[in-house]
Homo-oligomer: A and B are copies of this chain.
Amino acid sequence: MDLKDSITECAVSFGDLDPMLIVWHGNYFGFMELGREAFGKHNDLDAMAMYDLGYFTPVVRSIIDHKAPLVYGDVVTIRTWMQPSPAAKILLHYEMRNKATDQIVATAETVQVFLDKERKLMIDLPEFYRAWKELKSS
């Protein structure tokens, strides 16, 4: 598939910090969400558009590895890309770096599945997603 990596960024704010004066690990989920949305926008796969079509794409698995801390004043860049899969799943990878030093601060991956309008897990690809994959493969 011809998909573009996306890169977006986010400044660390005071409220992101925990008592260790580093970004609380739970807040990286927010960075990953920014990455996921940027990826969707760059590749015509918008979460809200899927939602409007009646599909839900909940995250069912997340793995985050922290390599270095982020502190106040840092800006984090989030590169996001898709791992192609024949299954009815969306596999995304994230690489987060300290913008000023280019040091990797965390890597992560998420797995999303598709739920239909009755919130049942879909085994087959939804039609819109199949069409999107074909479009991106041509």
Contact = CB atoms under 8 A, between A and B. Distances in A.
In which size bucket is the chain A interface? Answer: 20 to 34
Binding site of A, secondary structure by majority: helix, strand, loop or mixed?
A: mixed
A25 B59 contact: yes
A18 interface: yes
B19 A21 contact: yes
Given A19-B21, A62-B64, 13 more contacts: A13-B30, A14-B18, A14-B37, A15-B30, A15-B33, A18-B18, A18-B19, A20-B56, A25-B58, A48-B72, A48-B73, A61-B64, A62-B63
Ranked 6 nearest A-B pairs via Cβ: A26-B29, A25-B59, A60-B66, A48-B72, A15-B33, A20-B56
